[in-house]
Amino acid sequence: MPITIRFLLLLTIVAHFLGGCGGGGGGSTAAPAAPTASTPSGTPAQLTFDDLMTGTSTAPVDDAAFAMPAGASLPTHTFSGTLELFGETTSNGFQALKDDYRYNLSPGWQHLPKFRYQFVQSGNYLIPVAQGLLITGDLFWNIIIGPGRIWNQGSDRGMDRASFPFALVERNANCAHNGVMTFLFDGRTVSKVRYQVTQEICPYYKANMWGALTAAYTPETIANAEAIKAEHAAELTNRLPTKPLSALATDFPNSGIDLANLGALYDPSERTAYGLLINGTNYVSACATRYGFYPYCDDMRQTAFSATKSAFASVALMRLGQKYGKSVYELKIKDYVPETSASAGNWDDVTFNNTLDLATGNYFDSGYMIDDTLMTQFFMAESYAARMSAALAIPAKQPPGKLWVYQTADDFILARAMNNYLVQQQGSGADIFNMVRDEVYKPIRLSAGALTTLRTDNSPTGTPLGGYGLFWTLDDIAKIAMLLNNQHGAIGNSQVLNADMLADSMQQNPLDRGVLTTGYPTFNYNNGFWAKQITPAEFPQFSCSFWVPFMSGRGGVTIVMMPNGSTYYSLSDNEDYIWYSAAYESNKLKHMCP
């Protein structure tokens, strides 16, 4: 690999996680709540037949041009086969908006990876055969493709029109750059494919991309087409009831809720979406882009960043505790990660639970979030061996369980230890992420695109990274929060997560508040979850004291699970972590205090 390209790849990996996450912050000062989207004057609301057949793309247009219009007719043709694009490296436009790590020294960041994927059609839905994170082999980009739509709008000279969402995913990193594609087809041939990328959750790299690419359609019979269609239909059926955020005012007419206060102190230009889950209904905003609103908000891939520590690493240990008993938490890392024998640290007495608490006693600097900034080699490493070596290069400073030091490397070590324990229990084919996928995520009916994670070696079979790497939708976020905050770790009549460990994580056990965090002395961290105690002395809006657990990820990924059963979430990449004002508003709908 050329040195320049490798250097840029390494910067990608480092940039992904430096800075961590955390905190609540913010008062009740109102600010515009809805994500905002800019639409350049004069851009078309629709792409014409000629635009798609012979036109060129000189700039992004309003994302509404990629949406199925109201009143569109059912398609007259059937799409089943492979869509392939040509000229990805030459027929493209690009505009860098933020480039903290000088990615654009390489043109590889400025265009799509090779695109050749299969789709099936069910009614007016276009469904990719493979969903979730797809490894492309490209030096820069992997991809996630979501389900789209097919329709006939009567102005395309007998052809049908299709569009679908996709996300470019930085190799070995958790940033997702969301885009849309559209084209015409008649059952045998396709027009050019128009695409644009106009949004991302990525604090350090922002760019617009667009193009009109020559394409080919190869009709094929897809062997498992009926199963794919059935799974997609089930996914649509099983989504939570969803309403716009504005419906809160009508559904809770005497509450006095201030909808603007749900977004207080956030920069609306940097926030993609947010919502409030309450009484089983997901009240959501639109998904903002720089060119209008995203036409596939329900299927937009949001990045989890460090919320993965809660939603995957912690959930995995709770699942192991339910399956094999709570003694799993006290297993020693050294017995399941043999590389610790050559570690610079001391892992002799470090337990699975210590590691999930980020309190191993091994660290460089106990200052708030400093260690992650010192872990360049860890984030640079792509292979398992190099990543584990870097993770274990941290020296011992004190006994485990005493001091919280934020280290993403701990979650990687824990993921490997849990995986090796599971192999010991189930055999060589066991995989810790696949266990969570099959025994937790699928049963709570997460979307097909949420059932993969980042792994080592840029491979679908590598070791899960543990501390980051999930990609989810607004519905997925709400369902995970419901499992933790409302269903108490049970799915139907089956308890899938250990109830005691979950209660500790949700701050329902006054004897286990976790570890006090450094830098934010009024925050605690327990089993991969942050927590804040709300007191009348600090927050006079409330008449009692209570704890609020939350998940947090870099950039501004915030998922707050409140004791009144509601969950507030916000997806931003401006390092905004503000949720106190949302708690005030949720309290109006259902009181936190007796």
Helix, strand, or coil (residue 373):
helix
Tell me which of 189, 209, 224 is where a domain ends: 224
Query: Would you place residue 38 in the very low, low, confident or very high pLDDT band (cuts 50, 70, 90)?
Result: low
Give pLDDT, residue 491. Answer: 98
What pLDDT score was predicted for residue 16? 38
What's the pLDDT at 498?
Answer: 98
Rounded to whole angstroms, the Cα distance separating 505 from 310 reads 9
On whether the CB atoms of residues 434 and 422 are closer than 8 A, the answer is no
- Let me know whether 177 and 313 are in one domain: no
Question: For 264-293, how does the pLDDT look when each residue is reduced to its tens digit (9 = 90+)?
Answer: 767 888 899 999 999 999 999 999 999 999
User: Based on the domain organization, do 78 and 214 belong to the same domain?
Assistant: yes
Q: How confident is the model at residue 24 (pLDDT cuts 50, 70, 90)?
A: very low
Q: How far apart are CA 582 and CA 588, in angstroms?
A: 10
CATH code, 346: 3.40.710.10
Domain that holds residue 210: 43-224
Q: Based on the fold, state whether residues 216 and 313 are members of the same structural domain.
A: no
Asked whether residue 561 is domain-assigned, the answer is no
The label of the residue with tokens 């640290």 reads 345
- Token duo for residue 57: 């793309």
Predicted pLDDT at 348: 97
Quickly state the pLDDT bin for 303 (edges 50, 70, 90): very high
Measured CA to CA, the distance from residue 527 to residue 317 in angstroms comes to: 9
The amino acid sitting at 362 is N
Q: Is the pLDDT of residue 9 over 90?
A: no
Determine, yes or no, domain membership for 17.
no
Closest CA to 555 of 571, 569, 573: 573
Residue 292 lies in a domain: no
Residue 71 pLDDT > 80, yes or no? Answer: yes
Domain boundary residue, one of 427, 446, 468: 468
Structural domain contains residue 48? yes
The residue with tokens 């920069």 is: 267
Position 159 in a domain: yes
How many structural domains are present in the chain? 2
* 312 and 425, same domain (yes or no): yes
pLDDT 10s digits, 404-421: 999 999 999 999 999 999
Q: How confident is the model at residue 43 (pLDDT cuts 50, 70, 90)?
A: low
Indicate the pLDDT class of residue 180, thresholds 50, 70 and 90: very high
Q: Taking the CA atoms of 124, 130, 133 and 138 in sequence, report the sign of the dihedral they define.
A: negative
pLDDT of res. 35: 57
Domain boundary among 177, 204, 224: 224
SS3 259: helix
Q: Region 66-80: what's the mean pLDDT? A: 96
The pLDDT of residue 17 is above 70: no
Specify the pairing of strand 141-145 against strand 160-170: antiparallel
CA atoms in the 13 A half-sphere facing the CB of 499: 7
Question: What distances in angstroms separate CA 101 from CA 11, 199, 592, one per listed residue?
Answer: 6, 18, 44
CA atoms within 13 A on the CB side of 61: 23
In this prediction, residue 116 carries a pLDDT of 98
**459 and 315 fall within a common domain:** yes
Judgement on whether residues 218 and 318 belong to the same structural domain of the protein: no
Q: What is the mean pLDDT of residues 71-95?
A: 95
Place of tokens 């609306």: 268
E strands, 239-331, in order: 242-244, 271-278, 281-284, 302-303
Question: Percent of the chain beyond pLDDT 90?
Answer: 87
Nearest 5°: phi and psi at 584? -60, -45
Predicted pLDDT of residue 269: 84
Helix H segments across 427-538?
A: 432-436, 474-485, 499-505
Q: CA dist 526 to 372, 373, 415, 502, 509, Å?
A: 19, 22, 17, 10, 11
Look at the block and give the residue holding tokens 């992997």. Answer: 142
Please say if the pLDDT value at position 11 is more than 50: no
Instruction: Name residue 452's amino acid.
Output: T
- Mean pLDDT value across residues 4-29: 38
* Mean pLDDT, residues 472-482: 98
Q: Helix (H) and strand (E) counts for the chain?
A: 15, 25
DSSP 351-370: BHHHHHTT--SB-S--STTH
187 or 148: which leads in pLDDT:
148
pLDDT for 104 equals 87
Is the pLDDT at 300 greater than 80, yes or no? Answer: yes
Which pLDDT tens digit goes with each residue over 482-532? 999 999 999 999 999 999 999 999 999 999 999 999 887 789 999 999 999
Average pLDDT, the chain: 92
Sequence-ordered alpha helix ranges (H) in 128-239: 225-237
Residue (of 17, 9, 38, 20) closest to 199 by Cα position = 38
- Specify the pLDDT at position 263: 76
DSSP label at residue 470: -
Give CA 579 to chain center in angstroms.
19
Higher-pLDDT residue of 458, 264: 458
Q: What pLDDT does residue 265 have?
A: 67
Decide if pLDDT at 15 tops 60: no
Q: Is residue 523 part of a domain?
A: no
Residue 32 pLDDT grade (very low, low, confident, very high; cuts 50, 70, 90):
very low
* 419 contacts 432 by C-beta, under 8 angstroms: yes
Rounded to an integer, the average pLDDT of 466-473 is: 98
Say if residues 501 and 491 touch (Cβ distance below 8 Å): no
Residue 157 lies in a domain: yes
Contacts with 510 (C-beta within 8 Å, 6 or more apart), sequence order: none
Q: In sequence order, what are the residues at sequence separation of 6 or more whose Cβ sits closer than 8 angstroms to the Cβ of residue 347?
A: 332, 333, 334, 337, 340, 360, 362
Say if CB 47 and CB 64 are below 8 A apart.
no
At which residue do the structure tokens 């990687």 appear? 412
User: Distance between terminal CA atoms of the chain?
Assistant: 63
Model confidence at 223: pLDDT above 90? yes
Crossing angle of helices 315-324 and 408-426, in 10° steps, is 30
pLDDT band for 44, please (50, 70, 90 cuts).
Answer: low
Q: How confident is the model at residue 91 (pLDDT cuts 50, 70, 90)?
A: confident
Per-residue confidence band for 374, with pLDDT thresholds at 50, 70 and 90: very high
Question: Which run of H or E residues covers position 412?
Answer: helix 408-426
Mean local confidence (pLDDT), 3-14: 35
The answer on 215 and 316 residing in a single domain is: no
> Domain for residue 589, yes or no?
no
